[in-house]
Chain A
Amino acid sequence: MDKYKQAFLEEAGETLCELEAALLELDQNREDREVVGRAFRALHTIKGSGAMFGFDDIAAFTHNLESAFDHLRTGQLAVSADLISLALAAGDQIKTMLDEAAGVGAADHSRAMGILAELRDLTGEEVRYHPVPGPVVPETAPSGPQGVWRIHFRPASDVLLNGTNPLLLLRELGQLGRIQITVDVGGIPPLSELDAERCYLGWDIVLTTPSGLEAIRDVFIFIEDNCELSIEPVFEPAAPSATQAVQPKENPPPAPVAGASNIRVSAEKLDQLINLVGELVTVQARMSELAARRDDPEIQAVAEEIERLAAGLRDNSISVRMLPLKNTFERFRRLVHDLSIELHKDVELRIEGADTELDKTVIDQLNDPLVHLIRNSMDHGIETPDARRAAGKPPTAKIRLAAIHSGANVLIRISDDGRGLDAEAVRTRAIERGLIDAAARLSEAEVFSLIFTPGFSTARTITGVSGRGVGMDVVRRNVEALHGSIEISSQPGVGLTVSLRLPLTLAIIDGLLIRVGQAHFVLPLANSLECVELTSADVREAHGNHIAKVRGEIIPYIRLSEYFQMDNAPPEREQIMVVETDQGRYGFVVDEVLGDHQTVIKNLGKLYRNVQAVSGATILGNGTVALILDPHRLVQHALSTVSKGKPLAARGGRHSKSNGNTQSKGTTSYGTQRK
């Protein structure tokens, strides 16, 4: 039975989340019977399977709630805020009981009693908290003094339509002892009236068995109110006792297992699988390269087949790790519910795009930053209902949590309609704290990004929920550890939006292999837009600025050989890779673009943690290492090197995401400075 317990614990955890979601939804709309039904079913499942897998205390505790919700379902009881809060608390209690069962912590059983006492006061129903009777010990056939029974059995004529096979019952009865059966055919009608789907027979049976009356009755248990049945002792033994299992066990032939729709696999095994697939992809790349060199069509055909299979295997195993954000997002309903009570603020959480899928590892590490951002919004961003009314806003504030796909990334936005962030206040504060120079001229986006500097906080008061100015820097660190980026936009008085950009997966990406001098690099394909030649005319026309004209659009570029300080003579023809970054479109000038490359990401290790422009490394087919470029951070870093080179105040350009022109100005200064 133990092997099922783990499955039960996991499932109960999920069911609890569903329960919580239903309760919070019910809080919004108290009349919704459908939601009551969902909560009831969740409780019912926890109770039912709890008892089945031996968690009697959980089953007993949940039983009381289940009956309360049964009354809600039938309308005997009305939904109230108290009841919902109590049910939420009870859900938490079940959670601790489950944790205890899983060997984590200990549940406080007096708390369970407290919750049940409150429940009793609320519903006026008696509660009980002693384990419900566990599974009945399976019957064993007693061997002892033999009794003789006379049994008359005539099922109702429609018994076959209920799926009952009377023959099986007679056979089962025969297993209890020696049996003599006489069939009564008196009820069979003339052929013209006979209905083949009906049963017209009756049986008179004489049974010699050591089993008692109960065991004989049990044979007919499913149809006892749908048949004529009399069981009379002809001779009853004095003491039918002495239990001993002697029932012969029939072994049906083994059958193939079919139709398992879902299986649970430990995350560790999945990681192993991904690692192996990664190795396979690396080896396959090598194989393809060798095959290309051999010029043997047979080997090439095999190599291509392997390439196709490896790509399929890769996509499949990655999709196995993908989970919808739903569970993570739904959990925040509870957080918002609890916080709005604690802070006396009225907040409605809207969730969009919860079906968006992300790598499980990314999702796991996303929870903390999101909790922090939502707490921040609730605490600092959103005003009290009175203040909101005074500002002419609806008293109920809104927090929107939205996720959408964007290439190989997922964008998550947390927006609130609170008081927003005042760029001037942030600036003043940053100057106070000595984070920037008083004369510095910064764009709004740059000002807001100061919030992520350690030790920065604009909150006037420190509350129990958040404050003290720790956190936003940790949030940024967490997001960046996931190879993601974070950005704030805000309008004072209107609201604030935090956008997180996260990669779909951390394991394997499609990349473009490029060469600069002797070194190979991989550029994520999702960021790469196009590849054009950098002509000498372009260089001439730009008058020494690092700007190229691509299809009429002005693209500032970064020469990678300069950026990585490699001294090699540029080839006659250089290539520009146009990439999309958070800062807009940029070009990377490289010596050669070699083609696409399935890239298994390997971490660089602790030593290189602070390397800006590189997100990892990969091993090429011939065994050499290629660094994976992070275009966002490369551009960011290149720009900041420019800023450091000159005093901030002297910077002419502001770069913002939306404006292509000012962007190139900002980068122009980079180019000229380098020259």
Chain B
Amino acid sequence: MAKVILTVDDSASVRQMVHFTLCDAGYTVVQAVDGQDALTKLTGSIDLIITDLNMPNMDGIGLIRSVRSNPAYKGLPIVMLTTESQAERKQEGKAAGATGWMVKPFTTQQILAVVKKVLG
């Protein structure tokens, strides 16, 4: 069974890049445009969430907190996307329960490396 990855970003181009990269590598990808959207799509078996931090409606931090407060997804790996200027946000994300992070800009190889790292 292919692993299912939920990618959350308000930027369609980033979502698309992540989507294609992961699909090419054989993962199943579900897309969400913001935290709220992601929560509605967080059903059944999701193996990993990759989320942006700055998003309308519900940002990445809020999403991570909500996911962690759901017993069913307590140990779900979550990778957040940050930029180099967001050191505090990264700390905030880690405190909220993010598993790891990726610094934007990133390459397709980097996505795969990080996914492999947390998903095996």
- Residues on A facing B (Cβ under 8 Å): 1, 3-4, 7-8, 11-12, 15, 38, 40-41, 44-45, 47-49, 51-53, 59, 63, 66-67, 132, 134-136, 138-139, 160-165, 167-169, 171-172, 197, 219, 221-222, 251-262, 264
Contact = CB atoms under 8 A, between A and B. Distances in A.
A135 B106 contact: yes
A255 B2 CA distance: 6
Contacts of B113: 138-139
B117 A222 contact: yes
Nearest to A262: B12
A48 B120 contact: no
Contacts, number: 142
Given A53-B13, A135-B106, A257 B118 contact: no
B92 to A, nearest CB: 14
Contact of B16 (A7, A51, A254, A257): A7
A139 B20 CA distance: 22
Contacts of A258: 4, 28-30
A164 B106 contact: no
Contact of B12 (A11, A44, A165, A219): A11
Contacts of A4: 13, 16-17, 20
B109 interface: yes
A32 to B, nearest CB: 14
Interface string B17-44: 1011001011111111100000001000
A160 B75 contact: yes
A40 B120 CA distance: 36
Nearest to B7: A259
Nearest to B98: A162
A135 B120 contact: no
B58 interface: no
Contacts of A8: 13
27 contacts: A3-B20, A4-B13, A7-B13, A38-B56, A44-B54, A44-B83, A48-B11, A51-B105, A52-B106, A59-B105, A135-B106, A136-B110, A161-B97, A162-B97, A162-B98, A163-B77, A165-B120, A167-B120, A168-B119, A172-B117, A222-B100, A253-B2, A253-B26, A258-B4, A258-B30, A260-B31, A264-B12
A264 B78 CA distance: 28
A261 B31 contact: yes
Nearest to B101: A222
B28 A255 contact: yes
Contact of B117 (A12, A168, A252): A168
A134 B55 CA distance: 23
A165 B119 CA distance: 8
Contacts of B78: 163
A161 B74 contact: yes
Contacts of B20: 3-4
A255 B27 contact: yes
Contact of B105 (A12, A52, A264): A52
Contact of A252 (B4, B10, B26, B81): B26
Contacts of A255: 2, 23, 26-28
A7 B74 CA distance: 35
A197 B75 contact: yes
B72 interface: no
B65 interface: no
B105 to A, nearest CB: 4
Contacts of B75: 160-161, 163, 197
Contact of A259 (B30, B56, B81, B119): B30
Interface string B57-88: 00000000000100000111110010111000
B57 to A, nearest CB: 11
Contacts of B98: 162-163
Nearest to A226: B94
Contacts of B54: 40-41, 44-45
Among B68, B98, B99, B119, find the residue whose CB has the most chain A CB atoms closer than 10 A.
B99
A7 B14 CA distance: 9
Contacts of B74: 161, 197
A162 B13 contact: no
Q: Which of A49, A59, A162 has the most CB of B within 10 A?
A: A162
User: 7 smallest A-B Cβ distances: which pairs?
Assistant: A255-B2, A252-B26, A163-B99, A163-B77, A222-B100, A51-B105, A259-B30
Interface centre among B11, B20, B26, B85 (most CB of A within 10 A): B11
A67 B17 CA distance: 26
Nearest to A257: B23
Given A161-B68, A161-B75, A163-B78, A11 B11 contact: yes
Contacts of A171: 120
Given A51-B105, A163-B76, A168-B118, A254 B26 contact: yes
